[in-house]
A = this chain, B = another copy of it.
């Protein structure tokens, strides 16, 4: 509920427990993430788990919140934006996005949230959206707005433009990774993919290399 401001979060000890839990989840999937297993891996008692996090769902929520707090997106302020620097910033953003989405922990948490999506309450998916995509989407939105203000981009709907950028970068790679396909992402592959995507995006929304529209 209180996702903004400085919510108390958790103590260092509790964060260490959440780290163990994340590791457990990454290694063995949700089936391996039992309360007894977490307690054993973290050298704490189940009673403490329930005291700190309430119930199993509380542990899962805390794991998502903790992980999100670790990968906080860095707000980069682009002072003077030229065509080249905009492209460079977009490429960096694309690479960061690919790196985050392909990370072990991100994949495991997304699998977890998706698996629980059908359950009734299940705020996990919403949390992941709020803490993950929203943040990185805001970063991209700022970048796109700056590009538009600098006269380098042209679009009406910022959300739609971001959607196109996202689609060009990720395509179906994320889903394939979520399904367990052993995609071997060389850093070089990601760089190439990021550049191609950004070039295509600039072809669609850029004002510079756009020659004319009949």
Asked if A167 and B178 sit within 8 Å, CB to CB, the answer is no
Which of A15-23, A125-133, A145-153 contacts its partner?
Answer: A125-133
Contact with B along A110-151 (1 / 0, CB 8 A): 110111011100100110110001000000000000000000
Asked if B204 and A214 sit within 8 Å, CB to CB, the answer is no
Main secondary structure of the interface of A (DSSP, over half): helix
- The one of B111, B172, B211 in contact with A167, judged by C-beta atoms closer than 8 angstroms, is B172
State A176–B179 Cα separation when bound (angstroms).
Answer: 15
- Give the residues from 62 to 91 in chain A that come closer than 8 angstroms, CB to CB, to chain B: none
Asked if B166 and A126 sit within 8 Å, CB to CB, the answer is no
Which of A1-9, A28-36, A42-50, A52-60 contacts its partner?
Answer: A28-36
Which residues of B sit under 8 angstroms from A169, Cβ to Cβ?
Answer: 167
A202 CB, nearest partner CB in chain B, Å: 11
Asked if A117 and B178 sit within 8 Å, CB to CB, the answer is yes
Which residues of B sit under 8 angstroms from A129, Cβ to Cβ?
Answer: 176, 179, 181
Which residues of B sit under 8 angstroms from A160, Cβ to Cβ?
Answer: 196
Contact with B along A187-214 (1 / 0, CB 8 A): 0000000001000100110000101111
State A162–B144 Cα separation when bound (angstroms).
Answer: 25
Which residues of B sit under 8 angstroms from A105, Cβ to Cβ?
Answer: none
Asked if B179 and A114 sit within 8 Å, CB to CB, the answer is yes
Which residues of B sit under 8 angstroms from A175, Cβ to Cβ?
Answer: 110, 174-175
Asked if A180 and B118 sit within 8 Å, CB to CB, the answer is yes
A154 CB, nearest partner CB in chain B, Å: 13
- The one of B114, B164, B214 in contact with A178, judged by C-beta atoms closer than 8 angstroms, is B114
Which residues of B sit under 8 angstroms from A171, Cβ to Cβ?
Answer: 163-164, 166-167
State A113–B28 Cα separation when bound (angstroms).
Answer: 15
6 inter-chain pairs at a CB distance below 8 angstroms, sorted by A residue, are: A114-B178, A129-B179, A163-B172, A170-B172, A204-B204, A211-B213
Using A28-B118, A114-B179, A167-B172 as known contacts, list a sample of 8 further A-B pairs with CB atoms less than 8 Å apart, ordered by residue number in A: A29-B117, A30-B115, A108-B118, A110-B175, A111-B118, A167-B168, A167-B169, A211-B213
